[in-house]
């Protein structure tokens, strides 16, 4: 009787392991990191469309024995500006001040400003002192391109010294306000690979190549340079997929809907378009690295000095 009980217990144990393995494998196969994109609002500014997009990022974590999607960031906000021909990715800090569209960009980096050699136990060690540099640039849209309205460069040294160098005012994103009225557009019907909608007149256009439009929730809008189709549904894509890669915005060319080519803000400044405007006296900041030189940014230099003194005292 005892032997039979042991055999049954062993059999149940094996079945439990097989079931657990199968269950875990099945769940993990259905869970993989992904991104969600969704159009919140569409505003009209002098013939241009300002499109606000929300973004969430999800990963997978084991919770109560199951692989479960977990939100790791979001909602993040992005803005697109299009006239039906040209489309520009503006970033997140976008809004109006006195009916003028402004974009605030903030970049930070550690840049070198002094080389230093410290001898520890008879061996020289080369270090590069780094300073924290933040550049805040405010652009305003003149209807054609983005002009530099102000630039501030904020430098923070390892000893706590801070230097602000500004041309114009130091802006905060809280000053930027979204337009009040959002457009709804008109629905687009999909029939046999063709798109149909009524926007001033009846449109019948060819669907974009390589995209299953039946999975999209398209609405049509009028812009300065032509009709724009916007996917207003929630878009789920694999992790790492960027806004430029998703089917969210389409323009019409030669009777066919085509995915809009999205330009970066830097490609749409008046300077990049060779249009004369007031030039900022500050150059763009880039952080260069050298694998042969160790860099210390912020309070790291203070820590290095303390460690060096301790090592020298210990040697003595």
Mean pLDDT over 100-119 rounds to 87
215 — pLDDT class (breaks 50, 70, 90): confident
Q: What is the pLDDT of residues 46-82, one digit of tens each?
A: 999 999 999 999 999 988 888 889 999 878 999 999 9
Specify whether the CB–CB gap between 156 and 149 falls below 8 A: no
276 — pLDDT class (breaks 50, 70, 90): low
Query: 19 lies in a domain?
Result: no
Give the structural domain span for 111: 34-315
176 — pLDDT class (breaks 50, 70, 90): confident
More confident residue, 13 or 269: 269
pLDDT at site 57: 94
Query: 92 lies in a domain?
Result: yes
Query: What Cα–Cα distance (Å) separates residue 141 from each residue in 48, 73, 309?
Result: 11, 30, 55
pLDDT at site 29: 53
Query: 311 lies in a domain?
Result: yes
**DSSP string computed for 112-132:** EEEEEEEEETTEEEEEEEEEE
pLDDT at site 281: 36
More confident residue, 273 or 124: 124
Query: 25 lies in a domain?
Result: no
Query: 13 lies in a domain?
Result: no
Q: pTM for this one?
A: 0.74
Q: What is the pLDDT of residues 154-173, one digit of tens each?
A: 999 888 889 988 887 767 77
Alpha helix (H) residue ranges in the chain: 2-29, 300-315
DSSP secondary structure code for residue 278 in this structure: P
Q: What is the pLDDT of residues 286-315, one digit of tens each?
A: 333 333 334 456 555 444 444 444 444 544
Give the number of domains in the chain: 1
Name which of 115-119, 218-222, 239-243, 279-283 the model is least confident about: 279-283
90 — pLDDT class (breaks 50, 70, 90): very high
Whole-number Å distance between alpha carbons of 206 and 170: 48
Query: 11 lies in a domain?
Result: no
Whole-number Å distance between alpha carbons of 290 and 232: 46
Mean pLDDT over 26-44 rounds to 83
pLDDT at site 170: 67
Is residue 14 pLDDT above 60, yes or no?
no
Peptide bond into 196 cis (omega under 30): no
Which residues, in sequence order, are CB contacts of 292 under 8 Å at separation 6+? 126
30 — pLDDT class (breaks 50, 70, 90): confident
Is residue 283 pLDDT above 60, yes or no?
no
pLDDT at site 51: 96
Query: 10 lies in a domain?
Result: no
Query: 122 lies in a domain?
Result: yes
Is residue 117 pLDDT above 90, yes or no?
no
Is residue 186 pLDDT above 60, yes or no?
yes
Q: What is the pLDDT of residues 241-267, one digit of tens each?
A: 988 899 999 999 999 999 999 999 999
Name which of 64-78, 167-181, 204-218 the model is least confident about: 167-181
């Amino acid at each position: 009787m005892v032997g039979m009980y042991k055999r049954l217990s062993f059999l149940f144990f094996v079945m439990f392991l097989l079931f657990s393995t199968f269950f875990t494998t099945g769940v993990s196969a259905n869970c993989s990191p992904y991104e969600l994109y969704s159009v919140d609002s569409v505003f009209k500014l002098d013939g241009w469309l300002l499109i606000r997009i929300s973004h969430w990022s999800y990963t997978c974590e084991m919770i109560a024995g199951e692989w479960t999607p977990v939100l790791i960031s979001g909602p993040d906000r992005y803005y697109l500006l299009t006239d039906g021909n040209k489309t520009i990715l503006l970033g997140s800090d976008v809004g109006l001040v006195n009916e003028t569209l402004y974009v605030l960009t903030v970049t930070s980096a550690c840049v070198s400003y002094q080389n230093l050699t410290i001898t520890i136990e008879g061996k020289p060690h080369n270090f590069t002192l780094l300073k924290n540099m933040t550049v805040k640039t405010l652009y305003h849209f003149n209807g054609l391109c983005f002009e530099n309205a102000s630039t501030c460069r904020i430098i923070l040294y390892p000893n706590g010294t801070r230097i602000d160098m500004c041309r114009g005012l130091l802006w905060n994103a809280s000053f930027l306000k979204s337009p009040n009225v959002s457009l709804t557009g008109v629905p687009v019907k999909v029939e046999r690979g063709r798109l149909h909608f009524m926007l001033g007149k009846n449109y019948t256009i060819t669907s974009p190549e390589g995209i299953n439009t039946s999975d999209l929730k398209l609405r049509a809008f009028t812009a300065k340079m032509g009709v724009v189709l916007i996917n207003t549904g929630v878009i789920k894509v694999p992790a790492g997929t960027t806004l430029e890669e998703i089917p969210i915005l389409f323009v019409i060319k030669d009777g066919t809907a085509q995915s809009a080519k999205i330009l970066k803000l830097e490609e749409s400044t008046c300077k990049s378009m060779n249009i004369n405007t007031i030039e900022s006296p500050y150059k763009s900041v880039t952080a260069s690295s050298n694998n042969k030189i160790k860099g210390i940014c912020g309070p790291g230099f203070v820590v290095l000095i303390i460690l060096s003194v301790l090592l020298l005292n210990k040697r003595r």
